[in-house]
Structure 1
Amino acid sequence: MLSRYLPSFRARRTVATAALAAFMCLGCGLLFLLFAGGREADLSHARVTDAWNRVVPLIREGPLPPVLYRGEVEAIQVLDARGRVAASTPGLIGKPPIATFRAADRNVRTTRVLCPRGSAGCVTVASYKVYQPQGVWLLYVAVPEVPWYGTATDLLLVIGISVIVTIMTTAWSFRNLTKAMAPVNAIRAELGEITLTALDRRVPVPVNYQEIRLLAETVNDTLDRLESASTRLRRFTADASHELRTPITAMRAHLEEALLYPQDTDWPTMTHAVLAGVDLLQVTAADLLTLTHLDARPLLRHDVTDLGRLASAELKRRPRQHKIVEDLAEGAHVKCDRLRITRLLCNLLDNAERHAASRITVSVRAEGTSVIMEVADDGPGIPAEHREMVFDRFTRVDTARDRGAGGTGLGLAIAKEIAEAHEGALTIKDSERGACFVLRLPAYDACHSVQMG
């Protein structure tokens, strides 16, 4: 309900703090006033007792003076056994009895609150029985009525302090909330200025307020990732456009030449050339779709798989252009998406087939908590300074591994994405000759899994 009328967080918190402060002041003030009222009531009772102690001996010893000392009470009046005024304080001389009630039965004392006509306020009258030989005399002692809150001074003091504390607490809360919200407003304003062409800007990081500082650092980390992703996307888009434009240009040249010189054109040869370009476009488009799907981090199947048997089945299925040496250990189990891992192996084998001189080596083994699969060729190899670049999309590091060797330039990028999606890693290690790609996946421990289950 409060948020409906006060949409601002600062306003809601300020009002809530003011209400809480007022409530606490009200509670503490009530307790103080009750204490003050009790204290005043005790003092009033002490004054009445003091008057009783002074007057009763005078009544019993006699003779009783007609004018009594008032002391700290409002009035004192003594009635004899016949109900006549025997003595009183100066304010009651010549006046009738201020009261006629007395304690019932064997009680000696009783009190009542009386509000005489023409009086400025009510008084509390205490009636005492004083037993004399002539009969029962009555002593009336009047004191001002004590309110539950004590005195007016106590009430004004509590109200003043409560108002001051509430105002100070509200002002302090508003000031602190304003200071705390200033970095948030600065972050919001900066984020509002950041566009696709200004992804290098960052939000200010405040020194104080740890939560807001962590928020600003998280926002800046997100902006770093967005800028990096935007840079990769622009580079990828440019590379993809270039890769797609090249076969399209070649096919267009073949077709235009055939149209210009239809009689001199070898149509079967030209058709095969155009179909080769179409095949390259189709493979490139499929690879781009695969990368887009992997970038979205899809949910993968996690089937328990013997990686050695999976590699063996794929090697038996594939046609071979070079000699393949197999070193496939059984019992190297991993939890993986079999189709994705098969695609990774195929991409590594395609890369090896394109660059091998005569032999390809495929090995699988368990090593500690990991399962290792290596695909090595005896081709020209990859320089150490380029081993990270080859996993970038559309990257070709030298003429020995260029388009002439075939491929779209996306196979290794897809393989690396698949490895990382399985919480693994795909790297290149040193070898005596050629390139050796190493896939490392977490091993599946059946015994541990049963115990956990």
Structure 2
Amino acid sequence: MKARSSLRRQLFAPLIWVWLLGSLLAAYGAFRLASYAGGMAYDRTLQDEAGAIATQINWTDRGPLLELSTQTQEMLAWDSADRNAFTVVSDTDNRVLAGVDGLPVPEDRSGSFERPALFDAHYLGEPVRGAMYSIRSPMLDRFVTVVVVETQRKRADLMAEVQLAILLPTLALGTLTFLLLAWGIRRGVAPLRRIAGEAARRAPHDLRPLPLDDVPAEALPLIERINELLANVTHSVELQRRFVADAAHQLRTPVAGIRVLSQELQHELGGAGGDQSTQALLQALVGSTERMSRLIGQLLNLARSDAALRNLASGELQPIDVLPVIREAAEPLVLRATREGKQVSLEAPETPCPARAHPVWLAEVVSNLLDNALRYGGDNVELRVVTRPGWLDIEVTDDGPGIEPAHRQLIFEPFWRGERADTRVAEGTGLGLAIVKEVVQGMRGRLSLASRPELAGTRFTVTLPG
């Protein structure tokens, strides 16, 4: 089957994409903001330094003269993180008049006369940012250029700090938002989970409407529609059950009359010395009426069990001691087995065996299982009660021919009478095991089957909650 995504996943999926897109935009915005803000601040500092150095240049008869002390020049060049340097070059031969030799100096200096111009270059294997300011002589047709450069380490550190300052709160806020969303979505779908859990815990006969308490408005039409379907199913099941019960009840009286008449006719003709063919026909007629009577009785039991178990599903079964119920239900079957030359044994603990069950319908289960074993099993039938923590097992085992694996699910279907090992005789109604399955499930128990070749015969196990 195709895996279906949960409602929470469907709600979260678009939010995750929105959050990822927002994070990427925030990262890009942080990078651009850090680049712009850091670049502007450091570029202005470079321009101020170039302008400050230019103010210290005086023109004399012999040319430009830089009036900066050695200590001041060292201070301009010192920085704990970046590598700074400056130089003052002439216009004619790019001769260094002051500062560091070998600094990158752009050839085009036309834009650096009014204010310091900025440029990018490389110095000693590192990218640097520089400011260039050209000063003309007031008397001579000459000019000098002041160049100040610095590496971009502090710029990179500033950009990283700004990005972290933006991204970390964004990530924290996004995580908190998703946690709150997860809590809100979980809280919102909790009523649906409660309804699903209650529906899963219900017995098959429990068709009560699902509760509408705290159901979200979006899901309310769905739950109401499900309740309408449950009401329709309940009505349909009730009509079918009533039809079966009424039909069986109406047939009970005429079938009983036919049975009595056939038995009297057999008795009278048998006493008059009737021939063997007549006796065979009468015997077949009596057997057919008896089977019809049993079938009608089982139909009534099936209809009653369906109605009773639907009532049981709405309430909680109380623990009872199952041993007296089992002994009382098994007693007539034990006497019948003795008349037929078979044996039924009971193995049970000496102490009480509590289980959550209805005494009347538990007796019906035991009676049907023993009847099935005596009809279709061997000569020995064992009824065993086993207790274990939280559960109780009732096992009915025979030493008969067994049930084929392909038929082990079909035998619980009403009226199923296929070619199988347990129906080689035609006395059964085909309803006994169906009633057992309905009753066990109605009492919130489990019914299991094991047969050859796993064991010598067939074993039905009824498991009830303790």
Instruction: Tell me if TM exceeds 0.5.
Output: no
TM bucket, shorter chain: 0.3 to 0.5
Question: How does the TM-score come out when normalised to structure 1?
Answer: 0.45
